[in-house]
Amino acid sequence: MIYGIGTDIVEVDRIAVKIEKGKGFRDLVFTANEIAYCEQQVHPAQHYAARFAAKEAFLKAMGTGWGHGKINFNEIEIVNNETGKPLLQLTGTAVASYSELQIKQIHVSLSHIKATAVAMVLIEV
């Protein structure tokens, strides 16, 4: 059964500026795995922006949105499987926070171009 669907679109430059200002934003929002992945790409800001959009889309699919104190952004991790498909994983307090929902699967789709990144998340319970 579908629990929720969320989508988000992000301006790549907005994320790039925040990352260039210092490591604070980057370390608050992204995991070490995400940082390593993005920094290996030709256009890191596009990949950071897509992951940021996915985290926002996940929270929208959950019906909570940003800032409700339930979890930290870096407890939502976007990784890629062996074929490059993006996967959304929960870590830390996010696992406990959403365990009562018995989430079966989280589907995530990412896309980005020079100026924008978009993500869609569908949660099955």
Q: Catalytic annotation on 60?
A: yes
Q: Catalytic annotation on 104?
A: no
The DSSP code for 11 is E
For the chain, counts of helices (H) and of strands (E): 5, 5
Strand-pairing partners, residue 106, are 123
Given the residues 21, 60, 70, 114, the one annotated as active site: 60
Which residues are part of a known binding site for Mg(2+)? 8, 56
Given the residues 23, 55, 85, 112, the one annotated as active site: 112
The DSSP code for 82 is T
Which residues are part of a known binding site? 8, 56
The owner of tokens 């870096």 is: 74
Q: Which residues participate in catalysis according to the annotation? A: 60, 112
